[in-house]
Amino acid sequence: MLIADVAVPVPLAKPFSYEIPAALAASVAPGARVLCDFGRRQLMGIVLTVEEREPAPGVSYKPLRAVVEATPVVSAELLGFLRALSSYYFAPIGAVLRLALPAVEKRSVERLEGQGELLSASALSGTKRVASALEWVASATERLEAPGSLRGQARELLAWLRATGPTPVARLEDRFSNARAASKRLEGLGLVKLERSERAVAPWFTESVERDAPPELTTAQQQAVSRISASIRGERDVRGFLLFGVTGSGKTEVYLHAIAQALARGRGAIVMVPEIALTPQLVSRFRARFGDDVAIIHSQLGERARHEMHRRLVSGTVRAAIGARSALFAPVASLGLVIVDEEHDSSFKQEEGVRYHARDMALLRAHRAGATVVLGSATPSAESYELTRKGKLEMIRLPDRARREAALPDVTVVDLKRVGAGPSGHKMLTLPLHRALDATLAKGEQAIIFLNRRGHSPTIVCGSCGHVATCKACSVALTFHQRRGRGDLQGSVKCHYCGYEDSVPEACDECGASAILLEGLGTEKLEETISAAFAGARVGRLDRDVADGGRAERVLEQMRRRELDILVGTQMVTKGHDFSHVTLVGVVNADAALNLPDFRAGERSFQLLVQVAGRAGRSDLPGKVLIQTYSPAHPAIELAKLHDVEAFLARELADRKETRYPPFARLALVRVDAMDLPVAERAATALAARARRTPAGQAGHVEVLGPAPAPLARLRGRYRYRVLLRAEDRGPLRAVLAAIEAEIELLDRRVRAVIDVDPVSML
Ligand code: ADP
Ligand code: ZN
């Protein structure tokens, strides 16, 4: 009997077997999409294998219903990789396939529905649209308002809409502080129409970009390119590189040449970057070199654009893809090169659903495809650095900045224990920082000020009893966010984890005193403080709140055009930006990230400091960096001051070896949560006990730590526990995880338990 093993989009680990009817035998192949009966539903699945075999006695298989399209939607290379990924992470193959496929082509679903073949349109990857790709758009109607009936912003907003045409509400909010309320009111009067529409495709995907000519490479770049190119041409056995180049050393130019080499050999390329919305400039450099030969994979692409891109990549009309971590799954044909830019960035780890690490999996996909892989960073991760020491990756160094005039900036550490407030009176705007900003503004240059907290005031505290307001659903403090253009206490409190939002409490929950104080410093308040201290300076802000409003590109563009003098922001300001007039970088408080309960806290702080410092002095103007801290002697700070990445890595690796953490041990985290604390605790205890009972657990080949409450003990109303597994080798760890996976199936239905292999977030 001819049998197909099919992955269906249900969260079950195993594929299901179906009989292939004779009529379909010719068109069913691995990677093809098929319709099959599943319980009482029909689902669309992907064929994994086709095989002639006899079912076990007493077992019968249902026949496949239909083949959706004759050509496989997933190539053998990609399918094999997805199966390897699914196995590595103990993730259901159906869920993994869902990551790799664009939403099912509507048309083919409609066609099948029309033929009565498709009873349920629930298909791989679903047809649900991502909320973030949708937005409200306001447009003026033909109707005229009664004379004098409108006042204030409503009136201005309407006039604006009449003049400029339909505008997303998020855009209007840049201009009118009351945009949301005003447009609702205008809608009520029938003067404005509000429509939910798909967000426009990012401009760089449709706009044509002027082609550029490559600059003459520096000697170091040349050597890097020739070593990588020889690998792509198959003239060398080395297939993996760590491109360790200081900030501004011109890594992008090396990537561009490597891609050109791959394309010239008729092979495709994938480029992964941390966050595509923050790197429009980088993306446009790829477009400028390769034009339409590069597809931009973007979460804000509409369904149709996504399909179109998928189709062009599969057919090989477009041969290179660039995107954030999901570009890992791009169906690039004949893959010859995979690049991971800023490989140390933790956004490459997906923290929900299939918890994969795109950098680690880039190594796997490239290896399986026989492709060359380049990991690039100014601050390589301890893991990648160790791979070079073990000879698994070849190290390529770019020790100097690419532009001859550019030098690494001078770094000064400001000890917050000794140095007090400057003229603004705010403790965090110290005298040295104030003076440095003054000097920068006087020269007409730009500054970036980095602070790790968003919102206005991250602590809402009772002045009478000292109680700190926390979220009712999470064990997390609430943050005060200000409403634009209002005075103190006008705004709301928010939980940054569950999205809970409420007005500022009038009285303390604990003692009832009406003595609520807003304390601490977030980016909103910093923006306000700096604006007040430097009258006339144009201050902008970039953080998650700005980015979620779709305004990140705008702010970056203003910065590039020098319409802003000072940019205040969170991690987002540290990423790869290349602004030639930024000569001052200030780190308001370097300690925030140092003290997290995570073995990577020191490494992350160090990377952040070096990266943000790397935004200064990238062109011919010399740069200066001020790092404010309460712990000036911390090695992460001392070595960041010296730009000594390798000394830091050597220290860090010695530490990790001694404490037996990655890359010298393998970790897996079993995360358990439930609405009831005892239910979660019992489940975690059962899983830990199961792990200890396995042969590898008993022999001590796998260490079982816990169960213990997670550092964030409660999130979204669920109590969280975890069990940490640690082993020297992957084999025994996998054996224990397999036992845990089976045990999870038997748990109380109220419990959610997931396996996180090679965890990144320890919270
Ligand atoms: P990195 O990614 O290593 O931080 P970039 O690739 O952004 O560095 O390059 C830093 C700057 O140097 C950019 O403005 C880039 O245009 C410039 N640059 C790169 N290579 C060269 C070169 N060979 N000659 C002159 N300028 C270069
Ligand atoms: Zn919350």
Residue 353: CA count within 13 A, CB half-sphere? 12
494 CA to centre of ligand 2 in angstroms: 8
Of the candidates 517, 520, 489, the residue with the CA atom closest to the CA atom of residue 503: 489
Taking only the tens place, the pLDDT of each residue in 345-372 is 999 999 988 999 999 999 999 999 999 9
Predicted pLDDT at 591: 86
Peptide bond before residue 707 is cis, with ω within 30 degrees of 0: yes
For residues 742-758, average pLDDT:
93
Cβ within 8 Å of residue 92, ≥6 positions away: 10, 11, 12, 13, 86
What is the predicted pLDDT for the residue at 40?
80
What residues have CB less than 8 Å from 152, skipping those under 6 apart?
178
DSSP single-letter state for residue 93:
H
What pLDDT is attached to residue 11? 66
Answer with the residue of higher pLDDT: 758 or 281. Answer: 758
What's residue 722's pLDDT? 95
Q: Residue 591: what residue type? A: D
* More confident site: 339 or 150: 339
What is the rounded CA–CA span in Å between residue 720 and residue 711? 9
Residue 272's nearest CA partner among 202, 392, 176, 376 is 376
Q: What is the pLDDT of residue 484?
A: 62
Work out the pLDDT band at 35, boundaries 50, 70, 90. confident
The C-alpha R_g of the chain, in whole angstroms, comes to 28
User: What share of the chain has pLDDT > 70, as a percent?
Assistant: 92
Question: What pLDDT shows up at residue 287?
Answer: 86
pLDDT band at 162 (very low <50, low <70, confident <90, very high): confident
**Residue 556 Cα to ligand 1 middle (Å):** 18
CB within 8 Å of 56: residues ≥ 6 apart: none
pLDDT of 322 higher than 90 = yes
- Residue minimizing CA distance to atom 26 of ligand 1: 403
Q: Which pLDDT score is estimated for 44?
A: 81
Locate the DSSP E strands across 305-458: 320-323, 335-341, 372-377, 394-398, 410-415, 446-450
In this structure, what token pair is assigned to residue 77?
């290379």
Cis peptide before 663, with omega less than 30 degrees from 0? yes
pLDDT band at 575 (very low <50, low <70, confident <90, very high): confident
pLDDT band of 434, cuts 50, 70, 90: very high
Mutation choice for ligand 1 from 253, 286, 619, 621, CB with most ligand atoms inside 8 A:
253
Identify whether the C-beta of residue 568 lies closer than 8 Å to the C-beta of residue 472. no
Distances 150 to 137, 187, 430 between C-alpha atoms, Å: 21, 13, 47
CATH architecture of the domain formed by 666-757: 2-Layer Sandwich (3.30)
**Confidence class of residue 102 from pLDDT cuts 50, 70 and 90?**
low
Q: Strand ranges (DSSP E) for 342-487?
A: 372-377, 394-398, 410-415, 446-450, 459-462, 479-482
Residue with CA at minimum distance from ligand 1 atom 15: 250
Q: Which of 319-323, 354-358, 453-457, 484-488 has the lowest mean pLDDT?
A: 484-488
Residue 252, ligand 1, Cβ within 6 A: yes
List the beta bridge partners of residue 761: none
Task: Report how far ligand 2's centroid is from the alpha carbon of 415 (Å).
Answer: 34
Most confident of 131-135, 422-426, 630-634, 754-758: 754-758
Average pLDDT over residues 390-402: 93
**Phi, psi for residue 686 in degrees, rounded to 5:** -65, -40
Ligand 1 nearest atom to the CA of residue 221, by list position? 23
Structure tokens, 292:
């339409």
What confidence tens digit (pLDDT) does each residue in 680-698 have?
999 999 999 999 999 998 8
Give CA–CA dist 322/406, Å, rounded: 28
Q: Cβ(689) to ligand 1 under 6 A?
A: no
CATH topology of domain 208-398: Rossmann fold (3.40.50)
Locate 91 and state its tokens: 């993730």
Instruction: Specify whether the CB–CB gap between 476 and 535 falls below 8 A.
Output: no
What is the average pLDDT across 53-62? Answer: 86
Residue 676 reports pLDDT greater than 50: yes
CB 288 near ligand 1, within 6 Å:
no
What pLDDT digit, counting tens, does each position of 604-655 carry? Answer: 999 988 988 888 887 778 889 999 999 999 999 999 999 899 999 999 999 9
Whether pLDDT at 327 is above 50: yes
**Would you say residue 397 has pLDDT above 60?**
yes
Check: CB of residue 569 under 8 Å from CB of residue 450. yes
Which runs of consecutive H residues, i.e. helices, occur in 601-694?
Answer: 601-613, 635-641, 645-659, 677-693
Which residues have a Cβ under 8 Å from the Cβ of 266 and sit 6 or more positions away? 334
Dihedral class, residue 758 (left if φ above 0, else alpha if ψ from -120 to 50, else beta): left
**Given a cut of 90, is residue 18 above it in pLDDT?**
yes
Model confidence at 142, pLDDT cuts 50, 70, 90, reads: confident
- CATH number assigned to the domain with residue range 410-454+523-658, chosen from the 4 options 3.20.20.70, 3.40.50.300, 3.40.50.460, 3.40.50.2020: 3.40.50.300
CATH ID of 2-128, from 3.40.50.720, 3.40.470.10, 3.40.1440.60, 3.30.70.20 = 3.40.1440.60
Ligand number with the minimum distance to the CA of 478: 2
Highest mean pLDDT out of 11-20, 75-84, 494-503: 75-84
Q: What is the mean pLDDT of residues 519-528?
A: 90
Q: What is the mean pLDDT of the chain?
A: 86
Task: Name the E strands within 141-227.
Answer: 167-168, 192-198
pLDDT at 210: 67
Q: How distant, in Å, are the alpha carbons of 58, 98, 272, 330, 343 from that of 339? A: 50, 23, 6, 13, 9
Q: Measured from the CA of 578, which atom of ligand 1 is nearest?
A: 7
* CA atoms of 527 and 294, how far apart (whole Å): 38
Which helix H or strand E contains 171, and what residues bound it?
Answer: helix 169-175
Atom of ligand 1 nearest to the CA of 404: 25
Which residue's CA is the closest to the ligand 1 atom numbered 11?
248
pLDDT band for 31, please (50, 70, 90 cuts): confident
